[in-house]
Amino acid sequence: MAANAETGGVQSVARAFALLETLRVLGGEAGVSELSAEGELPAPTIHRLLQTLSTHGYVVQLPSRRYSLGPGLIRLGDGATRRLSLWAMPVLAGLGQGSQETANMAILDGDMASYVAQVPSPHQMRMFTEVGRRVFPHAAGVGKAILSQLPDERVIEIVRRTGMPAYTPTTITSEAALLADLQATRQRGYAIDEGEQEVGVRCYALPVAGLAMPAAISVSGPESRVTLASVDRMVQLLREAGALLRAAMPGA
């Protein structure tokens, strides 16, 4: 907190956000003593911050006297997601036009990958995911591209909380295999989903760094069209779209 004060930040605001993040890491619900042990703030300070956050609906005190994340955060998240979608859609439209496949953008939402924007393929047979859908990150191209931006220790924490369910025969279901896949993703710069979420669907996904949260964009479609031979062209389109997306973000 001292370092924050030196850079001109407001200590109480920084502490409030850190407290919300700690509550998220603890599963969205915790007591004051747990928050104090995890976040290294004294219990009286945490109690004061929680009372203020509770007044505005950002946390809720439960009958057990524990605290949980509150509905006020949903309003903030919905507003931020809508803005992000508006910024991303023109870029995704260009990516979809160039690839002739479905273009997606997803962000890390808690422990899940959440789709925030999509432009469908013009083909009748195409991949479709509802905007707002949350998926297990280990089993999707965008999810693996997002996880590749995180330290392995945090990846393990996430998948141990979510589990690693198998959706298809090619879904990665072990921590060791996932970490190896993420290392390959970091080395080549993009993730590949080989029918791991849906049988017969291939996806190439690109991490998008420099945003406020880990994010990724992707192109996906039937493996008969999104072929292994098309990877260079698809990845080049993704890289061009990623550069445009970063440039379009406010403050870029």
Could you report the per-residue pLDDT of 100-152, keeping only the tens digit for each?
999 999 999 889 999 989 999 887 766 667 777 899 999 999 999 999 999 99
Whether 5 has a pLDDT exceeding 70, the answer reads: no
β-pair partners for 215: 107, 208
Rounded Cα distance, 219 and 216, in Å? 11
DSSP string, 110-158: TTEEEEEEEE--SSSS-----TT-EE-GGGSHHHHHHHTTS-HHHHHHH
Confidence of residue 251 (pLDDT cuts 50, 70, 90): very low
Rounded Cα distance, 84 and 22, in Å? 24
Confidence of residue 217 (pLDDT cuts 50, 70, 90): very high
DSSP string, 17-70: HHHHHHHHHTTSEE-HHHHHHHH---HHHHHHHHHHHHHTTSEEE-TTS-EEE-
pLDDT (0 to 100) of residue 128: 63
Rounded Cα distance, 60 and 69, in Å? 6
Rounded Cα distance, 127 and 93, in Å? 15
Q: Is 231 exposed, middle or buried (0-12, 13-18, 19+ CB in 10 A)?
A: middle
pLDDT (0 to 100) of residue 2: 40
**What is the per-residue pLDDT across 221-247, written as a single tens digit (0 to 9) for each?**
999 999 999 999 999 999 999 999 888
- Which token pair is 9? 């930040």
Whether 179 has a pLDDT exceeding 60, the answer reads: yes
Mean pLDDT of 179-207: 96
Average of per-residue pLDDT values in the chain: 86
pLDDT (0 to 100) of residue 79: 61
pLDDT (0 to 100) of residue 75: 67
pTM for the full model? 0.72
Rounded Cα distance, 219 and 121, in Å? 9
pLDDT (0 to 100) of residue 16: 84
**What is the per-residue pLDDT across 52-101, written as a single tens digit (0 to 9) for each?**
888 888 888 888 888 887 777 666 666 666 667 777 889 999 999 999 99
| Selection from 2-11, 148-157, 239-248 with the highest mean pLDDT | 148-157
> b or e along 155-166 (b: 16 or more beta carbons within 10 Å of the residue's beta carbon)?
beebbeeeebee
Q: Is 63 exposed, middle or buried (0-12, 13-18, 19+ CB in 10 A)?
A: exposed
